[in-house]
Amino acid sequence: MASTKSTVDLLRNIALFSECSSKELSLVVKSSSERVLKAGTVIMDQGQTGREAYVILEGSATVKRNGKKVATVKSGAVIGELSLLDHGPRTAAVIADTDVRLLVISERALKGAIDNIPAISRKLLKALATRVRELDRAHFG
């Protein structure tokens, strides 16, 4: 298991968490859990509902939508965040290409962090708005 500090340092470089302080990120890390999965393991399945997001701490995985590869994600990638926020079905399947180490951020962990430090929610909303804007530009110009 990696140290909280090294995990916080990794999260700081992820757009979704870039607005958060070290104290806020430490709270998220401490209230989350780590999971290690072998290569070939399905991390999440398209259509499945979920109440957690994952941060890939080590390793890489393939993202498939309707059975077609759409991306490869690696250390620092956040996956499953939409289902964490809206409890909707997963929009893609993600399969570990290598052994992966994941930070599992449950709905309960995120809610606990927000309850303890309400400013986290504003910062996460800002980061999500930035991501939506980038996707809008990428798809619609």
> Which among 27, 32, 54 is positioned nearest to 109, based on CA atoms?
32
Q: What is the DSSP letter of 66?
A: T
In whole angstroms, give the CA distance from residue 41 to residue 98. 9
Of 3, 5, 10, whose CA–CA distance to 78 is shortest?
10
User: Residue 1: its pLDDT value, please?
Assistant: 55
The structural domains of the chain, ordered by start, are: 4-140 (2.60.120.10)
3-state secondary structure of 67: coil
pLDDT for 98: 98
pLDDT of residue 107: 86
Q: Which residues contact 37 (CB under 8 A, 6 or more apart)?
A: 43, 96, 99, 100, 102
- Write out residues in the chain with pLDDT < 70, as ranges: 1-2
| pTM greater than the 0.85 cutoff | no
> In the prediction, which pLDDT does 62 show?
97
Residue 2's pLDDT is what?
66
